[in-house]
Amino acid sequence: MRKILLLLFFLVLGQEAAFAQRPSWIKRYINSFIQDTSDVSRPQFIAYPIIAYTPETNWEFGASGLLLFYSKRDTLNRLSEIVAQGFYTIENQYGGFLEHALYSDKDKWFFLGNVKFQSFPVSFYGTGMDASLQDEQKVEAVQFLLKERVLRKVTRNFYAGLEFELNRTDEVIFSDPDLLQQESNLYGTEGSTNLGLGFGLLVDTRHNVLNVRDGYFSEFAVLNYSRSLGSDFNFTYLVSDSRYFKTVRKNQVLAMQALGQFSFGNVPFNQLPQMGGPNLMRGYYQGRFRDNNHLAAQIEYRFLPLPLGFSKRIGAAVFASTGTVFSSSERIELRDFRGAIGGGLRFLLFPKKDIFVRADFALTREGNGFYLYIGEAF
């Protein structure tokens, strides 16, 4: 479903005079981003309100915050980030999340994870690439997710460590449960609790995860969910995610990503690999297509900033992606791949930390999507 996002956020191109009548603390707060005169090693925090509207929730109100910092204020360390957001709708729905990518001093440890809690409807179309828009139904549920990766540097850019995930879904209500009879081997439709443990291997040369200009990232992870660990279902999840970034001209970056997600066993419907969302296969609703396996790739060309010379803070990007989902018994066929193309503008929010806000518009054969986020999609 489409979502119109009205982000009350100050992407301000004017000068301080535009805020002459504002209280002094507001001027200082806004000018801290416009001018960015702070020490580059100093932690920076931004908070802003959000208003959104969706057919499922009606009006939604919330707030979001972003904290950026270097461990021990040493800029030779990689940039760490913490993102938080909370929301409430006039339909009495609510939720929030906290995500983090934290590097310790000398980048010896890497902590990557998120916590999410929400009572929020999602759209479910069925499984496989044949899932029809006409079969869309709403799924109400209370969901809690806790995921954490604790990785230790083994060599210069190589990390290894353990992964943990707790996924609990309660009070599940399908708006049209009769449609579920068309689905075979659909698990967790009445809710479930699943605990997964595993390991991850990671090669990472990125210095700024929100805007990579040169470097690469490659992750391989395995998570096993077992009744012996307290899960309601037995299944295994494998992920392979590789990304490459190269500055090809001054302030022009070529970025590429290839993703594979594979699941085996009795996987609950809400934990099946899903296609779509704000980061990969933009333009498709997150979960528009889902099945046991997911393959996707994207390429993006970024101008950070634009080479036109009228502004040092305005950039742009163009991107294209393709992807598919399939069951373990299906053959992958070229006709099952879907594509998306798009582009967007960038605004340099934190010049000294090289952090941009992105506004992306994507087109697909089923419609379009608009996304407004701090940091690049990948």
Backbone dihedral angles phi then psi of residue 261, each to the nearest 5 degrees: -125, 130
> Rounded distance, CA 134 to CA 9, Å?
36
Q: Supply the pLDDT for residue 36.
A: 63
- The residue segments making up the domain with residue 253 are 4-374
Contact 269, 288 (CB under 8 A): no
Among residues 262, 255, 364, 238, the alpha carbon closest in space to that of 302 is found at: 255
pLDDT at residue 26, rounded to an integer: 61
Average pLDDT per run of 10 along the chain, which is 378 residues long? 45 42 60 66 90 74 94 96 95 94 97 96 94 94 98 96 97 93 89 97 96 97 96 98 97 98 97 96 95 98 90 95 92 92 95 93 94 93
**pLDDT score of 311:** 86
Residue 170 CA to residue 188 CA, distance in Å, equals 10
Q: 276 with 296: CB under 8 angstroms?
A: no
Phi then psi dihedrals of residue 131, to 5 deg: -60, 125
Residue from 305, 337, 332 nearest 320 by CA: 337
Q: How many domains does the chain have?
A: 1
Four-point Cα dihedral 227, 228, 231, 237, nearest 10: -90
The CATH number of residue 9's host domain is 2.40.160.50
Q: Which residue has the tokens 């992870």?
A: 221
- Global pTM value: 0.89
